[in-house]
Amino acid sequence: MFDTQLLKEAVNTVMPFGKYAGRKLIQLPEPYLVWFHQQGFPKGKLGEQLALMYEIKLNGLEGMLKPLLED
């Protein structure tokens, strides 16, 4: 089974660097995630979360996850 807590955490993680620093990962534009996919995601947990957001956006599923966003 997929851990929904990990999904909720990934959706609410804030991008710590770069052009979109301060935005939650689910709010990152798809072209930015595509660029990471082409260049290579960072190592570690953030990279895994960015890769997950890439797959979610690629498959048009972000709308389903917006209810998981916290203020």
**Would you kindly state where each structural domain of the chain is located, as residue ranges?**
21-68
The per-residue pLDDT for 1 is 54
Give burial (CB, 10 Å; 0-12/13-18/19+) of 53.
buried
Q: What is the pLDDT of residues 5-41, one digit of tens each?
A: 899 999 999 999 999 999 999 999 999 999 999 999 9
Task: Name 14's bridge partners.
Answer: 24
Q: Are 53 and 9 in contact (CB under 8 A)?
A: no
CA atoms within 13 A on the CB side of 1: 3
Give burial (CB, 10 Å; 0-12/13-18/19+) of 51.
middle
